Structure formats: structure tokens, C-alpha cells
Structure 1
């Protein structure tokens, strides 16, 4: 496993990481989570991602209990969680000072940890002044409940505004953004965020490298596997949007490239994300140890992605976003 600095910070995270979205609390219990997490650690993963909204808090409870029972030393791992959707009440969601403080304390209680390494604002909140959010995130850091803060699914403009407020107030700005990034979702990472990498040293922990499993090729046979994400009732609409003929045709077109390299489609897709120098860590998901073992081999694929191989991939997917004139 390789380790990269999270943006311009001194925090080092594994190139591939593990996220509890969908799986913990929906598909996996504590016993299964322990085997999954230990398999990740055995492959060098040190970064584990969660959120207060995942399985309505149950994902944090499962991860915390699993880590406690595994007996890991807290300083050996990097744990993150995200705040925005904490419950049904009017003050249980958003990025007000009230919810950031109360939501963080509730997350730490569920995780049974004194702190998280990274705390994300899970979405932008148009109803809360950015200055209030920046001050609240700094309060959390000052209290020692988190070491760093970041954003997830924010726009470049919103991140720039947060940094503007932080600079003006002599406070800490967000060091990381967590966007979706894969061969079919590229605009933010490769175009919109370009000024952020140099201006603010933003790092990225990207999610959905396999486009919810589409890039594994398992949906190309025409049927949805019963143990897959798209078989879950909550993901039927996403399945209908994702499993379109043009996308599946492109996935089939990637198969010869993967075969030529002697790797799976999943390994090719994950390595492709990790090869972007602005990506600090690619968040993977899994319900079985065998999936982790396959995913982790993507680290060995990264050096195989030469410019000529990347060109071949681009000829198939044809999804490269146009760069703004000023960034060329």
C-alpha cells in the first residue's frame, strides 16, 4: 500500500481506503464488519470513512464496536465521519453551529471514540452563513474532537467562500473535499476544482470509483445480481439511471484493455481514479473479504497505467471534461 498526504496537510492516508456507506448497518453486522475491516488493515488500509446519516447512525456504531473489539491502536488509523443529516428535527440537520457541535458529539458517542481525524460537512447548507459553519468547525477542532475538517459534494465556489471566511477570521479552512469520481463522473475533479489544488492545497478522498458497481462489468449480463447494491430497494432508481445501454457498451469496451493488462475491470477502474495526482485516497466499499482482496490489487495496477493505456481508456469512455480556457 502507498500513502499520500491529505492535500497539503501532514496527515497520511492510504491510497485506497474503506467506506461504510450502504454496507454497515444495511448489509453487514458487527461480526462481518470486523472481518472486512481486518482484511483492509492486512492490506495496509489506514483510512476508514463514515457519516452520521449512514444507516441512521448504525454504521458508526458498528464501525466503532468492530474497531474496539479488534483491539486496534487508535493512532494507527485515520477515521472520518460526516455531519449534515442527523435526524428529523429542524435543528438535527444542516451546518448550524448547534448541529455541528451536537452532531459531532453524537457521532463520537456512537463511534465510542474521543475524536475523529477528519470531520466533513456532508453537503453545503444554503440556510446557514458560511462564517458560522467555519467558526463551528474550528470550535470542534479546538475542542480536540477532530484534527482536520473538510467538505463533501461542495462546489468550487462554496469551498472558495469557506476559505475566504477562514482567512479573514484567521481560522483553519477545509483541507479536503469528498466528491464522486469515476470514469463517468469527472467534471468536478478534473475541471471545476482545478484552482483549488494550487490556491488552497485541497486534497480529495473520492467515492464511487466503480460507479456503484457498474464498472465491475457485473451488470453487463442483463440481470441484477441478488447480492448487489442495485438489488436493494433503496437503490432501484439509481439502477434505472445507471444501467443504460451507452454506459454498459463502454464498460464492455474496457474489457479488452483490462485483459491485456491481466487485471479485472474493477481493478482497472479503481487504479484509474488513484492515478490522478490530485486524489489523496480512493474510498472503496465491500461486503465480502474477496472483494477487498480484489480491490486492493488495484495498487499494483497504477504503475501500468501509462499515457498510452490512459489514451486507450479515453478512446472507449470518451468522458473527459473540457477544461476552462484559463486553466489550459
Structure 2
């Protein structure tokens, strides 16, 4: 397992990061989740990403239990704040000082740790002054409850202003966590160039496009039993945008490219996002330990310019590149 520096900091994280978004506390049993975490640790993964909203705080609890007994100094634990938790009361979401301060305390308790390595604003809160948000996040760092701060799905302008305020307050904003894959490249036009200027790295989610880039969904074929596309608890909704025959057919055209490299299609997808120098890590989840074993093989893979060109040719115009999609996908008001 290779490790990369996160932003303009001295912190290194594993380039394959374990994420428990749609699995822990919801899709898989706790025993299976524990087994997946143990496998990740055996494979050299040291970085674990979660959020308070995942399974309405249950995912943090499962991860905290699974990591119990591990040497804390050898791990990098990341969590997030913004989306509604608990009973969804009028202050149970957003990036107000109240919600941030209450949420970090809850996350630390559930994760069974005194601090997180990176505390991330899970979305931009249009109803809270950015100065208030950044002041609260800076205080979390100064209280020793987080070492660094990051953001998720912020626009380039929001990242720039957040970074400016963080710097003024003496704390480091070092990471951005956007969706990024062969099919979804909206950060390439504005977010990545801005982050490169500021010394901010990407920790990308959904590098396999919710499993579509694994090639297991074929045009016109029945959905595989137990796959994310059949999950009525959230997985099917997230994957729906990719489930049309044009996209699925193009994805099948990636098979010979992966085969020539001795990779699975999922490994090719993860290696593709890791090829970008501004990407520090790819977040990969698992519903069974074997998935981690396979996906970790993408670590250290080098893709040539010829391979990258073949991938672009195969996918053609189904790739989404519009940088405006980041703003378009933002909540336009608090979701509680």
C-alpha cells in the first residue's frame, strides 16, 4: 500500500482509503463490517473515512468498534458534518457553530477516539455565514479534537474563500472530497486547478461510479442479485444516473483495456483516479472482505498516455465534464 501527502501538509494517508458510506450500519451486518475493516488493515490501509450522517450515526459506531484496539497513531480517521442526524431538529444539520461543536463531540464518542485527523464540512451551508463556519472548525482544531480540516463537494470559489479564512485563523484546510471517476469528471475544470494553487488534495469518492465501472452491469441484462442497483435503502437511487444502455455499453468497451493490463475493470477505475497528481486517495467501500483484497491491487499501478487515450475513446461523450454540476448538486437550503 502506498501513502501520499494530503495537501500542503506533512500528513500522509493511504492512497486507497476505506469508506463506510453505504455499508456499515445499513447494507451489511456488523460482523461482516468488522471483517472488511480487518481485511483493510491487513492490506496496509491506514485511512478510514466516515460521516455522522451515514446510517444516522450508526456507521461511526460500527467503525469505532471495528478499530478498537488498533494503535491510534498508526491510523488516519476522517469524518464529516453537515447533513441531518438524530431527530432532524431545526439545529440538527448545517454548519452553524452550534451544530459543528455538538457534532464533533458526538463523532468522537462514537468513533472511540480523542481526535479525528481530518474534520470535513460535508457540504457548503448557504444559511450560515462562512466566517462562522470556519471559526467553529478552527476552534475544533485548536481544542485538539481535529488535526486538520477539509471540505466535500464545495465549488472552486467556496474552497478558495474557505481556505483564505482558515489560513487567517491559523489552521490548515488540506482536503476536498468530491465525486470523481472516469464517468464523472466535473472537478477537472475548476476545482482541481484551484486546489493545486492552494495546496489542497482530493480524496475522491465513488471512483468506480457506485460499481458501474466494475462492468458487472451489462446492457439489457438482469441486475445482479444483491448488487447496489437492487438496494432500495439508497444504493439504487445513487446508481440510477448510470443505468442506461448507452453508458453501460461504453463501460463494457473498457474490458479489453483492463485485460491488457492484467487488471479487473474495478482496479482500472481506481488506478485511473489515482493517476491524477492532485488526488491523494480513492475511497473504496466493501460489502465483503474480498472486495478490498481486489481493489487494493490498484495501488501503485501506472497508466500510460496511450492507455488514458484508449479509455477516453471508449467512453466518448457519456463522460460528464460540466464544472457547473458541483454547484448544481449543492443543497440550496438546510435539509432540516
Shift of the alpha carbon at 1:230? 1.6
Distance 2:159 2:19 in 1: 23
- The equivalent residue for 2:179 is 180
Distance 1:239 1:41 in 2: 28
Shift of 1:307: 0.9
Would the aligned equivalents of 1:29 and 1:62 in 2 still touch at CA under 8 Å? no
Residue 31 (structure 1) aligned with residue 17 (structure 2): no
Q: Is the 8 A contact 2:209 2:239 kept in 1?
A: no
SS at match of 2:92: coil
Shift of 1:322: 8.2
Structure 1 144/218 Cα, relative in aligned 2: closer, same or farther at 3 Å? same
Aligned to 1:171: 170
For 2:193, which of 186, 192, 195 is the aligned residue? 195
Quote the Cα distance in structure 1 between the aligned partners of 2:201 and 2:281: 9
Distance change >3 Å, CA 170–CA 82, structure 1 → 2: closer
2: CA distance between counterparts of 1:93 and 1:130? Answer: 15
Partner SS, residue 238 of structure 2: helix
8 Å contact 2:61–2:110 — kept in the other structure? Answer: yes
2:292 & 2:115 partners in 1: Cα distance?
27
2:25/2:58 contact within 8 Å kept: yes
Aligned partner of residue 175 in structure 1, secondary structure: strand
Across the two proteins, how many residue pairs are aligned to each other? 317
Give structure 2 stretches of 5+ with no counterpart: 324-336
Task: Give the alignment partner of residue 211 of structure 1, picking from 200, 209, 212.
Answer: 209
- Residues 216-231 of structure 1: matches in 2 within 5 Å? 216-220=214-218, 222-231=221-230
Other structure's SS at 1:23 match: coil
What CA deviation, in whole Å up to 9, does each residue of 1:12-43 have, x standing for no partner?
00111110100000123332222111111111
Larger mean Cα displacement after TM superposition, 197-206 or 148-157: 197-206
* Per-residue Cα deviation, 1:63-84 (whole angstroms, up to 9, x for no partner): 001111xx21011110010001
Cα RMSD over matched residues? 1.6
Partner of residue 77 from structure 1, selected from 64, 68, 75: 75
Give 1:104 deviation, angstroms.
0.6
Decide whether the 8 Å contact of 2:22 with 2:235 is kept in 1.
Answer: no
Counterparts of 1:4 and 1:161, CA distance in 2: 25
Higher relative contact order (CA 8 A, sep 6+): 2
More helix by share: 1
Question: How big is the shift at 1:237?
Answer: 3.2
Q: Summarize the Cα distance change of 1:96–1:290 in structure 2 as closer, same or farther, 3 Å threshold.
A: same
CA contact (8 A) 2:192 2:278 kept: no
* 1:102 paired residue number: 102
**Dislocated runs of 4+, deviation >6 Å:** none
The aligned counterpart of 2:53 is: 53
Q: Contact 1:214–1:242 at 8 Å: present in 2 too?
A: yes
Q: Which residue matches 1:277?
A: 277
Q: Which residue of 2 aligns with 1:326?
A: none
Distance 1:321 1:240 in 2: 18
Q: CA, structure 1 residues 159+322, in 2 after alignment: closer, same or farther (shift >3 Å)?
A: closer
1:258-273 to structure 2, matched below 5 A, reads: 258-273=258-273
Shift of 1:201: 0.3
Q: Tell me the CA shift for residue 44 of structure 1.
A: 1.0
Q: Under a length normalisation based on structure 1, what TM-score does the superposition of the two structures give?
A: 0.93
DSSP 3-state at the match of 2:173: coil
Aligned mates of 1:58, 1:44 — CA distance in 2: 25
- The match for 2:116 is 116
Q: CA deviation at 1:173?
A: 4.4
Conserved in 2, the CA contact under 8 Å of 1:30 and 1:63? Answer: no
CA distance in 2, matches of 1:254, 1:210: 13
Q: Which residue of 1 aligns with 2:330?
A: none
Q: Decide which moves more: 244-253 or 91-100.
A: 244-253
Other-structure match for 1:9: 9
Work out whether residues 135 and 169 of structure 2, in 8 Å CA contact, stay in contact via their aligned partners in 1.
no
Query: After alignment, is 205-214 or 305-314 more displaced?
Result: 305-314
